[in-house]
Structure 1
Amino acid sequence: MTYTFFVDMTCGGCSKAVNAILSKLDGVSNIQIDLENKKVSCDSSKLNAEELLTNIKKTGKKCEIIA
């Protein structure tokens, strides 16, 4: 399933932090980061949207589920 999140990213370092967190999760693939529009989407076969959001929040960025 594909999930999309709003993540308050302001620079390349922010997007790298989000990518690093998601890349370490089992079952997460196809990570797409749109820094300009502050959107992150990924596919996950094992984690639901809430579980992914909890992990993204570990970056310290404000975030919420879009779809």
Structure 2
Amino acid sequence: MPKHEFTVDMTCEGCSNAVTRVLNKLGGVQFEIDLPNKKVCIDSEHSVDTLLETLKKTGKTITYLGAK
């Protein structure tokens, strides 16, 4: 599966929990959250657009960094 890296404007555990919640609802994804560096690395067959739309549901600022 391709890995995609995003920056997410997370400041606390609650923010990372929100990211976890929306990604788990999407399904078919494995991900790692790096809270101190505000990064989320996602293994998924979903398109980048789908991942961006899903992450935006958290209300946070999201930036796609590229494939990893």
Give me the identity figure in percent: 49
Distance 2:49 2:7 in 1: 13
The amino acid across from 1:66 in the alignment is: L
Distance 2:27 2:58 in 1: 18
CA displacement at 1:42 relative to structure 2: 1.0
CA displacement at 1:24 relative to structure 2: 1.4
Superposed structure 1 runs of 4+ greater than 3 Å apart: none
Gaps of 5+ in 2: none
The equivalent of 1:18 in structure 2 is 19
Distance 1:37 1:13 in 2: 15
Distance 1:52 1:39 in 2: 14
- After superposition, the CA RMSD in angstroms is 0.8
How many residues align? The count is 65
1:37 matched to 2:33? The reply is no
CA displacement at 1:50 relative to structure 2: 1.4
Gaps of 5+ in 1: none
TM-score, scaled to structure 1: 0.90
Distance 1:13 1:26 in 2: 20
The equivalent of 1:49 in structure 2 is 48
TM-score, scaled to structure 2: 0.89
The equivalent of 1:6 in structure 2 is 7
